Amino acid sequence: MNIEIIVPPLSQTSDTLILVDWIIKPGEKVMKGDALFSVETDKATLEVESPETGILTNSLAQPGDEIKVKSVIGFISTAKETDNQETPPVNIPPRINSKSFNESSNTIKSESIPEKFSGIITKVSKGERILASPRARMVAFQNNISVNDIQTPGSGPNQSIVENDILKHLEIQENLEDNKPNMWQQPKPIRFSLVLEANATQFTQACVLLQKNSKEAFGFEPEVNDLLALVVIRGLKLFPFMNINPGSDESKAESIPSISLGLAVNTERGMMIPVVKKADQKGLKAFGTNYRELTERARAENLLAEDIVGASFTIINLGMFDIDTVIPVIESSRNAILGAGQIIRKIVPKDDQWSIQPMWTLSLVFDSQKINPGLAARFLQWIKNSIENPYILLG
């Protein structure tokens, strides 16, 4: 029996992936659950497990190919069948490479098509199999489009698509959107931003105290992100309307009992957001250990698909880059994000006098179709009060 190898939906922003490599080669045996092939999304390189035990008999895609989500890219002959009889051949359409194209018309040369397929394949648009630079593919992924969307010849060697072609396409599409009649425009999610400052005097003191007394017991020194995460987790428990199922739409937005907290990590590939699952069930030691393990794997590009999806709330702290204020842009799959900048010493009024205090700018960005702005303001105010009085968390 031949089992189809189907590309899983691993990216939240694109329906195509790049096949990096076949870990198991055609003719080799693979066990169910073993790493079968690796793909590159817009955020990470991930390994995909084998759906069944058997022998990889055919692969319909090669490393470097752009593959569609939910498409079939190969077959596995089950172990029982393979042990008892010869694996039946599978008819595979020929791969079409760029050399088969006539450069002036983008049609396939007739001699490149076997007779049995001539009645099916008569012309292939440039988007079916095109030349594109790795940088162009990455920029396309980051903007939620495919290099197949480029309808004009590329400006690179042999009319290959390069980064500048993608940028020009995006500019044209943006102009078209701006000039569409209002009746053609689709309604967009309503993003709402709230910004305030918190006095971080006691918060930073608590962090220093934890670092002095917890390193030996925890195996690490708790940092600002650890303590901020605990504040947010406690807040989400008290304000469950902020902890929304990431897969729900505005008409079915509902709170969920478990908290999956996404925390942004800066890597050489850019910002990634691994997710600490069941964060509300972890103490400071367990949370910090899980967070550091995910951070290490993110920077080593070893995250799994399940490590970057399912966040019910997200934190982005860019204070280490001397950023004063962070106002994130949330994707449709995220409901709310707390942005944090650096803690800055400012002159502020206190007890009818002016004093220098460490102030922390926090921003809450959310989808107001799912979360009421008034309720969100109460949540952010509670976060501020907890930062200014962190010891109440011990109660």
Given the DSSP bridges, would you call strands 29-30 and 54-59 parallel, antiparallel or unpaired? antiparallel
Cα angle 231, 233, 239; round to 5:
100
What pTM, to 2 d.p., does this model score? 0.57
Q: Is 187 helix (H, G, I), strand (E, B) or coil?
A: coil
| pLDDT for the residue 389 | 94
**Domain 2-84 belongs to what topology?**
OB fold (Dihydrolipoamide Acetyltransferase, E2P) (2.40.50)
Write down the pLDDT at residue 195: 97
**pLDDT value of position 178:** 55
Q: Residue 163: helix, strand or coil by DSSP?
A: helix
CATH of domain 191-394: 3.30.559.10
pLDDT at 393: 74
Please tell me the predicted confidence (pLDDT) of residue 179. Answer: 53
**Measured distance CA(102)–CA(106) in Å, rounded:** 5
Which residues of the chain fall short of a pLDDT of 70?
11-13, 42-43, 79-130, 134, 175-189, 247-252, 332-333, 394-395
Q: How far apart are CA 23 and CA 226, in angstroms?
A: 37
pLDDT of 120: 29
Residue 80 has a pLDDT of: 56
Q: Which residues pair with 124 in a beta bridge?
A: none
What are the domain boundaries of the chain? Answer: 2-84, 191-394
Give first-to-last CA distance, the chain, whole Å.
60
- Tell me, what's the pLDDT at 130? 64
- Phi and psi (nearest 5°) for 108? -80, 135
CA–CA dist 148, 228 (Å, integer): 43
Q: What is the pLDDT of residue 322?
A: 94
What distance in Å separates the CA atoms of residue 162 and residue 137, rounded to the nearest whole number?
Answer: 8
